Structure 1
Amino acid sequence: MLPSSKALELEFSEIDSNFLQFCASHGILSVEDFLVHDLNVLVAFAEQHGTSKKLKQGITRILSIIDNHHQPWLNGMKLLEDALQNKHVLSTGCEGVDHILQGGLREGQLTELVGPSSCGKTQICLQAASNVADKYMGAVIFLDTCNSFSPRRIACFLTKRMSSSSNEEKQRILERVMSNIFSYSVFDIFSLLDVLQQLESKLRSQEFTGDNQVQLLIIDSISSLITPILGGNGANGRSLMTSAGLLLKKLAHELNLSVLVTNHMVGGDGGALKPALGESWKSVPHVRILLSRDHGGNFCDASLLKHPSVASGQFVRFMIED
C-alpha cells in the first residue's frame, strides 16, 4: 500500500498542512487520488497560489513516491506457492497464441500483445473474451480505448463454434456469453486509473457480476492512453504509466485475474519498428508476445519475447479467422 498523506506530512517538508488543504480543495484526500487526477490541471491551479513554488514541489514529491513504490520482496518459497495456488490457464480460443503460451493466458499475470496496426491484436482480444465467457463461463471486462470492441465479431466467433447446434441452443448460448462480457469506453489515463480503482473495490466486495467470477480483464489498447502523457520531460507521464502497470499487476495477483493488454509499434533508430512506451514499460508485463502479419494476408506470426516460465524466442505461425 502507498503511505498515507498524514504520514508523508511528518516525513517531507513540502507536504505540509497548506499543501494538504490545497489537495483537499480539489478532491484529493489520499496519495491514490493523485492517480486519477489530471496533473496538468492541478499544476495550473497551484500556479495561481502565492505559495505556488512549494505546492509544485509537493506535487513532484508525491509523484516521486508513487514512481518509487514497488511491491515488497518475496522469497522463493512464497513465489512458488503463489504460482501453484489457484492460477488457472485460460485458453484464448486462438490455437497459435495458446500454443506459444503452453495453454493460454495465466491468471495472476499481465500479458501484452505488441505489434503494428492490423496485425491481429484486437482480433485475439475479442476471441479471448468470447472463449473465456463461453468455455469457462467467467465474466470478462473489456476496456475499449479506441472503439475496437465489436459484439458482432464476438457473436461471429460463437456462431462458428456452434455450427452443429440448433437455433434455440445458439440463441441461449449467445445470450449467456454476451451477458458475461462487460465493455467500457476509456479514453484517457486518468479515466483508466479511476475505472481500475472502482473495479478493484467492486470485485473485493463482490458487488460486480453476481455469481460469475471475473476471470479476464482486457485493455485494447493501453498504449493509446499512455503515449499522449509521455511528451515533454515525461516525468509525470512515466509516474502515471508505472502506477497503471503496478495497479494492473496488483489486480491480476490479488484477485486471480488474467490481464491482457495491447501495445502498438513506433519508429526506432534507423526506422526500425519497436514497441511503444519505451524501456520503463518493458519490464511491466509478465508476458510479451510480438505479432506481425503480411499485408492483406490471413497468416499471423507470433514470437514470444518474454515469459516467466517459458523460454523466450519461440515462434508460431497461425491463421487469423476472417
Structure 2
Amino acid sequence: MPPLKALEREFSEIDSNFQQFCSSQGILSVEDFLVHDLNVLVAFAEQHDTSKKLKQGITRILSIIDNHHQPWLNGMKLLEDALQNKHVLSTGYEGIDHLLQGGLHQGQLTELVGPSSCGKTQICLQAASNVADKYTGAVMFLDTCNSFSPRRIACFLTRSMSSSSKEDRQRSLERVLRNIFSYSVFDIFALLDVLQQVECKLKSQAFTGDNQVQLLIIDSISSLITPILGGNGANGHSLMTSAGLLLKKLAHEHNLSVLVTNHMVGGEGGSLKPALGESWKSVPHVRILLSRDRGGNLCDASLLKHPSVASGRFVRFMIED
C-alpha cells in the first residue's frame, strides 16, 4: 500500500495538511492505518479547526484500504487463471530458464539475491533484451544505480545475430531499444510514486500503445529500501511491505513478470545474508541465490523458493561479460 504523499495528486482530501496531521501520529502510509486505533485518530482530528476535512481524509484512506482487499477465489478459479492468463518469458539464459521450468512466470515476483558482481544486473539486462526481442513486448527497467546499459543490450543482440547482416542487426537493435523503457529511481518514495503511475497507465491501456508491458525490472530494489530500515521505527518496514504488495498486485492484475534484485550484506560471523532481511523474505513468489567464482564467468544459481518447484534445485551456467 502506498505512502500518503503518493496519493496527493489523485485524492484532494489527502493534501499537505492531512499528511502533516497523520505524520504527527506516526502515520506515513496507507498501511499504517491498519495498525492504528481509528477511534483515537478521529478523536485527535476533532481537536483541530479543520476536523471536517481531516475526517474526510480518514474516510478516503479507509476506502482505499477497502479497495485493496482481494476477493476470495476457489482452487478452480486459481487454476484457470494460472493456465489461461499467465505465460512464461525466457530470460535468455538456458540455466536460469531450466531452474524456473521455462523462465519468468507472468503474475509472479521473482527475486535475484547475491553479492556484488555475481551477475544479477547481467541477467536483468539479458532478460530485458530477450523479452523485447523475442516476445515484442514492452519492458520497464527501473534503474536505481545507473546499471542500465544500451551498449550491453547491443552486445547481447550482436551475439545472437552473429550471422545476420549489419543492417538487420541495426534494425533489430532499434526495435528492441524502443521496447525498453528505462527510468532512474533513487529513493523509495520515488519508486512508489512511479509504480502508482504505472498502475494508472496500465489500467487505461495508454502506456505503450499496442505493445503490452510484459516485464518490469527493478535493479536493485534493496538499494532503495535498506536506507529506510535502520532504527527501531516501523515506518521503513511499512514502506517496504507497501512496495512488495504493490509489485505483486501489478504482476497479478496485469499479467506482468516482475524481476527484482537484492544485494548481500555482512551477517554474524562474517557470513553474507540478503540485505532486506527476514521481513522481505515472504514477499517474492520466487527467490534465486546467485554466486560466481571471482574472476570467472561461471555462475551458480540455487532455487530458494518457488510456488510450484521444490527448493534446493541448482544449476551452473556461463555469463559472458
Taking the TM superposition and a 5 Å limit, the aligned residue runs for 1:134-283 are 134-283=133-282
**Paired residues of 1:120 and 1:291 also in contact (CA < 8 A):** yes
State the SS of the aligned residue for 2:289: strand
Distance 1:159 1:29, change over 3 A: closer
- Cα 1:242/1:292, change in 2 over 3 Å: same
For 1:148 and 1:212, locate their aligned partners in 2 and report how far apart those are by CA, in whole Å: 24
Structure 2 unaligned blocks of 5 or more: 36-64
In 2: Cα distance, 1:183 partner to 1:158 partner: 18
- Report the CA distance shift for 1:236/1:58 in structure 2 as closer, same or farther (over 3 A): closer
Shift of 1:94: 0.9
Measured in 2, the distance between the counterparts of 1:74 and 1:201 equals 24
**Identity in percent:** 81
Instruction: State the alpha-carbon separation in 2 of the partners of residues 299 and 225 from structure 1.
Output: 29
Classify 1:75/1:269 alpha carbon distance in 2 versus 1 (closer, same or farther; 3 Å): farther
User: Counterpart of 1:59 in 2: which secondary structure?
Assistant: coil
SS at match of 1:157: helix
**Gap change, CA 1:313 and 1:243, over 3 Å in 2:** same
State the SS of the aligned residue for 2:296.
coil
8 Å CA contact 2:29, 2:239 repeated in 1 = no
Aligned to 1:59: 27
Question: Secondary structure of the residue that 2:33 maps to in structure 1?
Answer: helix
Say whether the 8 Å CA contact 2:108–2:258 is kept in structure 1. yes
Stretch moving more, 62-71 or 243-252: 62-71
Give, in whole Å, the separation in 1 of the partners of 2:199 and 2:105: 19
Aligned-pair CA distance for 1:196: 0.4
- CA gap 1:272/1:65 in 2 versus in 1, 3 angstroms: same
Aligned partner of 1:162: which letter? M
After TM superposition, give the deviation of residue 56 of structure 1 in Å.
2.2
Give the 3 Å change call, closer, same or farther, for CA 249–27 of structure 1 in structure 2. Answer: closer
Q: Deviations over 1:150-185 (max 9, x none)?
A: 000001000111111111111111111110000000
- Deviation at 1:96? 1.2
Q: Say if 1:31 and 1:62, in contact at 8 Å, map to a contact too.
A: no
Deviation for aligned residue 1:217: 0.2
**What count of residue pairs does the alignment treat as equivalent?**
288
Partner of 1:76: 75
Q: 1:61 to 1:306 in 2, by over 3 A?
A: closer
Distance 2:131 2:29 in 1: 42
Checking the alignment, whether the CA contact within 8 Å between 1:66 and 1:243 is kept in structure 2 is no
Equivalent pair of 1:66/1:239 in contact (CA under 8 Å):
no
Moved more, 274-283 or 109-118: 274-283
User: CA 1:243 to 1:176, structure 2 compared with 1: closer, same or farther past 3 Å?
Assistant: same
Correspondence list, 1:89-104, <5 A: 89-104=88-103
Contact 1:144–1:183 (Cα < 8 Å) also in 2: yes
Write the letter of the residue equivalent to 2:201.
Answer: K
Distance 2:288 2:26 in 1: 39
Secondary structure, aligned partner of 2:118: coil
- Following the alignment from structure 1 to structure 2, what is the Cα–Cα distance between the partners of residues 320 and 32? 51
Which secondary structure state, in structure 2, belongs to the residue aligned with residue 216 of structure 1? Answer: strand
**Aligned residue in 2 for 1:116:** 115
The CA distance in 1 between the partners of 2:194 and 2:165, in whole Å, is 39
- Paired residues of 1:289 and 1:303 also in contact (CA < 8 A): yes
* Residue equivalent to 1:284: 283
What is the DSSP-based 3-state SS (H/G/I as helix, E as strand, rest coil) of the residue aligned with 1:218?
A: strand
State the distance in 1 between where 2:261 and 2:159 align. Answer: 25
* TM-score (structure 1 length as normaliser): 0.82
> Could you say which residue in structure 2 is the equivalent of 1:16?
none
CA distance, structure 2, for counterparts of residue 31 and residue 225 of structure 1: 28
Shift of 1:307: 0.3
Matched, 1:133 2:101: no
TM-score by length of 2: 0.83
Residue range with higher mean Cα deviation, 264-273 or 157-166: 264-273
Other-structure match for 1:301: 300
What amino acid is the match of 1:205?
A: S
**Counterparts in 2 of 1:221 and 1:166: CA distance versus 1, 3 Å:** same
Q: CA 1:172–1:61 in 2, change beyond 3 Å: closer, same or farther?
A: closer
Are the structure 2 counterparts of residues 112 and 312 from structure 1 closer, same or farther at C-alpha, using a change threshold of 3 Å? same
Cα deviations across residues 183-235 of structure 1 (Å, max 9, x unaligned)? 00000000000000101111111111111111000000000000001011140
Residues 66 and 237 of structure 1: CA distance in aligned 2, closer, same or farther (over 3 Å): farther
SS of 1:261's equivalent?
Answer: strand
2:40 corresponds to which residue? none
Q: Tell me the CA shift for residue 144 of structure 1.
A: 0.1
SS across alignment from 2:27: helix
Change (3 A) 1:60 1:199: closer
| Paired AA for residue 202 in structure 1 | K
Deviation, 1:72, is: 4.8
The Cα RMSD (Å) is 2.8
CA shift, 1:78, in A, is 2.3
